[in-house]
Amino acid sequence: MYVLPDTSIWISFFNEPSSPNSERMSKLILEDRVCICPTVHQEILQGTKDQQRFQILSEKLASLNQLKSDPYLAASGAAQIYSSLRQKGVTIRKSNDCLIAWYAIKFDIPVWHNDRDFDLFASYILLRTFNI
């Protein structure tokens, strides 16, 4: 089974290398089960502190299973998710999370996260989540 880690998991992976989440992430990477979507790719890289780290991380991320789709289709799908939840009285804090959720739904891959918005998604739409 593949998994799509949200940026919140990647931050934990980079900052707490000996945590259970980080150990699980390392195992999933070695098993080639980690996917990445453009939004998570961007969020990870924009958090780098220098060009050398950016380059190294960019090369490592390129080796992951990349979820690809037409950007306008993804934007429309994410907007639809945001709008449908908004009509139900649910406001998602970051619209980027709607893009991540859209990729997970489109490719039927669970999202691994430490972000309460994904729990909201899973309560209202067909989003699967991953827990260790």
| Domain range summary for the chain, segments of one domain joined by + | 4-130
Q: For the segment 8-37, what is each residue's pLDDT rounded down to a tens digit?
A: 999 999 999 999 999 999 999 999 999 999
CA 116 vs. chain centroid, Å, equals 13
Q: For the segment 70-104, what is each residue's pLDDT rounded down to a tens digit?
A: 999 999 999 999 999 999 999 898 999 999 999 99
- What's the rounded mean pLDDT across residues 39-60? 96
Cβ atoms of 107 and 127 closer than 8 Å: no
Say yes or no: domain 4-130 is CATH 3.40.50.300.
no
Distance CA 31, CA 43 (A): 23
Distance CA 95, CA 114 (A): 16
Strand ranges inside 19-80, DSSP E? 35-36, 65-66
pLDDT of 76: 98
Does the pTM surpass 0.85? The reply is yes
Percent of the chain with pLDDT over 70: 100
pLDDT higher than threshold 80 for residue 132: no
